[in-house]
Amino acid sequence: MFSPLTQNMIEQYDYPIVTEDTLDAFTGRHDSVVLFFTEDAKKFPETDDVAMILPELVKAFGGRFQAAVVARPDQYKLQRRYAFREWPTLVFLRAGEYLGAISRVQDWHDYLEQIEQILAAEPGQAPDAMLSVPAQVIAGPVTTRK
């Protein structure tokens, strides 16, 4: 399901795995959260890098947000809700409402700066970027035909 590094992070830090059905209950128990959208680490090797970085980010922000990993079968369903296009992605929510997202691996300083800005933001709607994405991309992984 998840890469060994991501699975190890989940177990070591006791991060919950959320689904589309459990997301609201999870966000209802925490003021601010970050959702880790992993996709497939074989297709997106940066996923393993983010799996190593995420616990350090939680620590650096003194527990200002709770981390969770999105279940693989529900990632594309929830991707539509939060309108991001690249993998892996961290989506930040407050009281279940969208604050912002960071995709792919960033420099440490950039993470700190971007997350501080995201946490200071007012909740709002995710950007409408997904409106221009073909339906097959939104619905699930794209396969290449030859």
Residues in the chain: 146
Q: 26 vs 94, 104, 105, 131, 140, CA distance in Å?
A: 11, 24, 25, 27, 24
Contact assessment for residue 1 and residue 53, using Cβ atoms and an 8 Å cutoff: no
**Which domains does the chain possess?**
4-139 (3.40.30.10)
pTM of the model: 0.87
- 3-state SS assignment for residue 63: coil
Amino acid, single-letter form, for residue 144: T
* 58-88 confidence digits (pLDDT tens): 999 999 999 999 999 999 999 999 999 999 9
- Report whether pLDDT(130) > 90: no
